[in-house]
Amino acid sequence: MTVPPHIRFEKVDLGAIADRKGCVAVFLGEDGKMDQTARRVNRLTRGALKRMVESDGFAEMKQGQVSELAWPAGMAADALLVVRLDRRPGAEDARAAGASIAKSRRTAPLLVLAGNRKHAADLSLGIILRGYDFTDHKSKDAPEPGEITMMVSDPKAMTAAAAQVAAVADGVFLTRDLTNEPANVLTTGEFARRLSEMKASGLKVEVLEEAKLKALGMNALLGVGQGSESPSKVVIMQWNGGPKKQKPLALVGKGVVFDTGGISIKPSAGMEEMTMDMGGAGVVAGVMRTLAARRARANVVGLVGLVENMPDGRAQRPGDVVKSMKGDTVEVINTDAEGRLVLADVLWYAQDRFDPAGVIDLATLTGAIIIGLGHEKAGVFSNDDALCGALLKAAGKEGEGAWRMPLGAAYDKLLKSRIADMKNVGGRAAGSVTAAQFLQRFIREGVPWVHIDIAGVASVSSETALAPKGATGWGVRTLDRLIRDMLES
């Protein structure tokens, strides 16, 4: 488990700056404006900052960018991190500055001279999120990171904001850990166990085992997992921090702990990436964790379908017909289109049991969304302009890429089956849209619903603004923001 670092806030003390070891981060505003701590650093270094401001290089520095001065004369620090950041930066620039600082400091102790910066919270979030490193399976002990301190004018005023930041970081780190974890470690059982541990934070957590799923009629989900040695499970996490009468928002996640494709087996090159095919469930878990950590004043239920898609003598075959919990039958043309089969039953169960005010599902559902949107933006599909608009707005605020895609009857027609109510694939064309259309068949009339295809953004092979290579935790901040803005204000 990767635990986010605790950041200590202390009152600005100009006299203490010279003696601090490790890295010291100092800010230069527009036109090289210096606050009192920067002026102090400039004096200690006998005008190094001023010379930097007057250099050609300074004009080219982007918001949030760091220029590193090693072994600064007049200071005990090993490095001075000079950060270009306006006095009143946007949230995204402040987070980017934090991320640059985290990258430069690596594991050295860090002092951030934040002064009276309004964006100290965003700055600290950037530092924490970009500082994530998944080292659980490195046998050599990673160096223990040094302490992070921020000098601010009013440390007390930071307490509340810092707690919110810590709650978000807890959720994002949980999602990243789950998504990075290999499939021999994160089996369906281990996944359910980790979610059950969250009871300690005040969440109500239930695990539905195969016998129960069978009794509920979740044959679409069970068919996917029937070739695996790991039993299929559905885990339900409830956070009821809102008014009693408020209908909950339901978050539903695809939790395929490994996707070989099943009998429609995937090519071996790159198959190891399918260890992240539970990324949707990972985001749902992360959001629930954040909501509990910050005692959110909202009612939210998170449901995840945990299965493993394996080829086996007992595995589901192409051509099999399964009856979903809803009652509709599905002809399984391709066993690799398994996520939608899992979600179909969990979506239906969520509506049946909780009568939610809205449903948002997240899934690493299609390779086609990567062809369409790459690794920059998640694909968003919805039957409700208001909920979808709110989600896109939240994603915009958090700087997480999201792009709305179409739905429509012409796409839905592609799912017609000769022998069953529908088939599970619609052909190569518009693969992400027909996948979404399939899901929509399991959404009740009048229920606002958003489907987010995160196949391109859940885990990436190069670093992003706030994450190193690997799992990003995309969506935890967007959904947390949506819940704040839509249900709590």
From residue 338 to residue 357, the character string flagging contacts with Mn ion as x (rule: CB under 5 A) and all else as - is: x-------------------
In sequence order, which residues have a C-beta less than 8 Å from that of residue 223 and are 6 or more positions away? 316, 320, 322, 332, 341
From residue 291 to residue 330, the character string flagging contacts with Zn ion as x (rule: CB under 5 A) and all else as - is: ----------------------------------------
* 261 belongs to the binding site for Zn ion (CB under 5 A): no
245: annotated active-site residue: no
Q: Whole-angstrom Cα distance, residue 105 to residue 108?
A: 5
Q: Whole-angstrom Cα distance, residue 380 to residue 301?
A: 20
Give the DSSP per-residue string, 441-489. Answer: TTS-TT--EEEEE-TTTSEESS-BTTB-SEE--TTHHHHHHHHHHHH--
193: annotated active-site residue: no
- Residue 366 interacts with, from Zn ion, ligand BES, Mn ion, none (CB under 5-8 Å by kind): ligand BES
Least spacing, CB of residue 377 vs Zn ion, in Å: 19
Q: Whole-angstrom Cα distance, residue 25 to residue 43?
A: 15
Nearest CB to ligand BES, comparing residues 92 and 345: 345
Query: Of 86, 92, 181, 259, which lies in the binding site for Mn ion, with binding defined by CB under 5 A?
Result: 259
Nearest CB to ligand BES, comparing residues 325 and 425: 425
Cβ 304 vs Cβ 281: under 8 Å: yes
- 333 token code pair: 């043309």
Q: Which region holds residue 304: left if phi is over 0, alpha if psi is between -120 and 50, else beta? A: beta
Question: Exposed/middle/buried for 397, CB within 10 Å: 0-12, 13-18, 19+?
Answer: middle
Q: How many CB atoms lie within 10 A of CB 91?
A: 17
Least spacing, CB of residue 180 vs Zn ion, in Å: 17
Q: Give kind and range of the element (H or E) at residue 340.
A: helix 339-354
Nearest CB to Mn ion, comparing residues 311 and 399: 311
- Residue 455 interacts with, from Zn ion, Mn ion, ligand BES, none (CB under 5-8 Å by kind): ligand BES
Nearest CB to Zn ion, comparing residues 42 and 335: 335
User: Of 1-9, 97-105, 331-339, 352-360, which part binds Mn ion (CB under 5 A)?
Assistant: 331-339
- Residue 360 interacts with, from Zn ion, ligand BES, Mn ion, none (CB under 5-8 Å by kind): none
Q: Which residues bind ligand BES (CB under 6 A)?
A: 259, 277, 334, 336-339, 364, 366-368, 425, 431, 455
Alpha helices in 131-246 (DSSP H): 155-180, 188-196, 210-216, 219-225
Which positions are annotated as active-site residues? 266, 340
Residues that bind Zn ion in the complex, under the rule CB under 5 A? 256, 259, 277, 339
